Structure 1
Amino acid sequence: MSYPAPFVRDATAEHRHTIILLHGRGSSGTELAEELEETLGSGSANLFQRFPGVRWVFPSARPRWSSVFEEEMSEWFDAPSLCDIGYKQHLQVEGLRQSVDFLLRVIEEEIDRVGSASKVVLGGISQGQATALHALVCGRHRLGAFVGASGWLPFADKIEEFLRGELGLEVEDLGDSFTSLLATPVFLGHGTDDNLIELDLGKQARDLLTRMGMSVSWKEYEGADQDGHWIKEPEEVDDIVAFLSDALEDIVKQG
């Protein structure tokens, strides 16, 4: 089964950057875009209003069987447990592989469209962050930035084992493209009271990416909406704006 066409919000000014964001389990690209439109930073401005020169791309997962809910639902991969992410971990593999392959094609299309990998930002929320991080690590580009919220990194222990354990490899041994992508600046935000994805899982992703040599901006937020499992208004919106403004120097020159 193929993936739906991504939902796109075109730039309202000259197109200078593209931001690709992945939704969480049970949602869609369209729903994520609608929720972000209602999520405001300081000055009652959302992310779309702050960055008029950005083309926003919201891919959607395809329906697949959820072993937790025992029905088909929109998810990037099957996650049998979010309390114990190692539980039946083998069930995650097929969906992750398919979703990452799909996402890498979307990234290449947007690089061709905007003209440079440095002008493309990747990210997601919850399971979308989890999938997007795998796509980042499996990709071959130094992107402009990565933005994640309320998520985790599946197979974090095995990725680290692959890089520094069983194969005895350091990052530089994996090739120039891998070394280059590690220069992608990363923002990770997480609610301290997130009742779906524990804060420690977010910290695990942060720590692994840092040990790999990536520059990670980590932020914790108290009292976020939706039981802590969403972007905190206005603080997290403001932090994302500041992070992207630093990572992409010309992103806010079109006010």
Structure 2
Amino acid sequence: MAKQLPHVKWVLPNAPARPISLFRGMPAPAWFDIRSISMDPALEDEKGVTAAVKTIETLIDEEIATGIPASRIVLGGFSQGGATSLFTGVSTQKRLAGVVCLSGWLPLSHRLRQLASETSKQTAFFLAHGEDDEVVPHEYGVESHKVFSRILDIPYRSLDAAGPGIVFKSYSDMGHSSDPREIKDLSQWISGRIP
């Protein structure tokens, strides 16, 4: 994507290694603990998600301090990074150019009404998921994008539509990975947010 979008500065942080409950306490790179691949609120690591959001907010603040306005920052990630990006995008007070979640989900959706910022309604979101995802089920992506409409009243948009809203794309024959169709759509979407 860097070749297709040469005007974009890419900042690619790595999640720190931490013990993961799902892996019986074995350390792995993760933004927050994973007790189960589930959207069950009782199994979510709210404290960890909140700490991850603070880390990402700090990274955004550092970019703003270099002179890049929030309105030209697209936040995104894959899997748990996408989940962290989504929750940051929903809760931040900064008016970002957009938020991307690939093969992820919206954590803490049960707290969305209390934690969502007003700026989230003015943000563009791009969610994409493989229909054959063997790690984060496709249904989690589907349910996550529906939450935006039900709880935050954020409208659905087509891929080439300008302005705030949510795009959700499903890809057949794609597991917990990415493929050229998704990258092409994502590149087009980012170009529309930060030309």
Q: Are residue 143 (structure 1) and residue 96 (structure 2) matched? A: yes
Residue number in structure 2 paired with 1:245: 191
- CA deviations on 1:177-197 (whole Å, 9 max, x unpaired) are x32332111111100111111
Residue number in structure 2 paired with 1:166: none
**Aligned partners of 1:188, 1:68: CA distance in 2, in Å?**
25
Consecutive unaligned residues of structure 1, counting only runs of 5 or more, are: 1-46, 164-170, 172-177, 251-255
Q: 1:159 Cα deviation (Å)?
A: 2.0
Equivalent residue for 1:130, pick from 75, 83, 88: 83
| Same amino acid, percent of matched pairs | 32
Q: Are residue 75 (structure 1) and residue 38 (structure 2) matched? A: no
Q: Are residue 213 (structure 1) and residue 165 (structure 2) matched? A: no
Higher relative contact order (CA 8 A, sep 6+): 1
TM-score, with normalisation over the residues of structure 2? 0.87
**Contact 1:80–1:87 at 8 Å: present in 2 too?**
no
**Contact 1:151–1:197 at 8 Å: present in 2 too?**
yes
- CA deviations on 1:180-227 (whole Å, 9 max, x unpaired) are 332111111100111111111101110112331331111000112xxx
Structural mapping, 1:212-231, within 5 Å: 212-214=152-154, 215-224=165-174, 228-231=175-178
Structural mapping, 1:1-255, within 5 Å: 47-70=1-24, 71-82=26-37, 84-86=38-40, 88-89=42-43, 92-160=45-113, 162=114, 178-211=117-150, 212-214=152-154, 215-224=165-174, 228-232=175-179, 234-248=180-194, 250=195
Consecutive unaligned residues of structure 2, counting only runs of 5 or more, are: 155-164
Amino acid across the alignment from 1:245: S
For this pair of structures, how many residues does the alignment match? 183
When the two chains are superposed, the root-mean-square deviation of aligned CA atoms in Å is 1.8
**Contact 2:46–2:108 at 8 Å: present in 1 too?**
no
Indicate the SS of the match to 1:72: strand
**Aligned partners of 2:98, 2:108: CA distance in 1, in Å?**
22
Amino acid across the alignment from 2:178: I
**Aligned partners of 1:110, 1:156: CA distance in 2, in Å?**
28
**Aligned partners of 1:117, 1:144: CA distance in 2, in Å?**
7
Q: 1:87 Cα deviation (Å)?
A: 6.9
The ranges of structure 1 where at least 4 consecutive aligned residues each deviate by more than 6 angstroms after the TM superposition are none
**Contact 2:86–2:100 at 8 Å: present in 1 too?**
no
**Aligned partners of 2:96, 2:82: CA distance in 1, in Å?**
15
**Aligned partners of 1:180, 1:154: CA distance in 2, in Å?**
18
